[in-house]
Structure 1
Amino acid sequence: MSEILEKAAAALNEKLEGSAFDASAKFDIADLGAIVLDENGARVSDDDADVTMSADADTFEQILSGELNPTGAFMSGKLSIDGDMGVAMKLASVLA
């Protein structure tokens, strides 16, 4: 299991703390693996989710750090979304 993914899951759990995110989402990070977020928090996993967002590691890191807005990443083609767009938008507002 990637140390990068473990650190990212921990950072996502901090961002999700106190939020009302009640759906499931997966970040599929090229060449690293996947992180699933749901009502239980974030964890390294490749479970099915309501929406899957795919990006390279650099893009994911920029989104996580707040340097890159998830919507901007999607509009510029750096982030692809497969599944429930409403869930993706809800997650973007939690991560902002």
Structure 2
Amino acid sequence: MTFLETACVALNERLKGHTFEKTVSLRIKEVGNIFISGSDAVVSDERADSAVISDQVTLQKILNGDLHPMKAILFGKMKIAGDAKTAAKFGSLFG
């Protein structure tokens, strides 16, 4: 299973019970994109209302619970483009 597929499985677990009214694109540098719509995460290059841009190492730390998305933003490891409220809702999935 590729990193993107593994990340989608982990994100879909976290999305249970949550629904995004707007869309989020996770852009993982040099790897690919994950598109979150409603309560589903899939590998896709589709454009979204908000983009969260990071590298694979940072996203893996976030998925493992070793790094909170807000800290990643503060440390410059993650950037947000587009609708900040939707990106904040994404961050709330991690505590």
Which residue is 1:93 aligned to? 92
Give the TM-score normalised by the residue count of structure 1: 0.92
Number of aligned positions between the proteins:
95
Instruction: Map residues 19-30 of structure 1 onto 2, 5 A cutoff.
Output: 19-30=18-29
SS of 1:80's equivalent in the other structure is strand
RMSD: 1.2
Whether 2:20 is the aligned partner of 1:13: answer: no
Asked if 1 retains the 8 angstrom alpha-carbon contact of 2:24 and 2:50, the reply is yes
Structure 2 unmatched ranges of 5 or more: none
Structure 1 unmatched ranges of 5 or more: none
Amino acid at match of 2:55: D
Q: Give the structure with the larger strand fraction.
A: 2
Asked if 1 retains the 8 angstrom alpha-carbon contact of 2:29 and 2:54, the reply is yes
Give the TM-score normalised by the residue count of structure 2: 0.93
Asked if 2 retains the 8 angstrom alpha-carbon contact of 1:28 and 1:55, the reply is yes
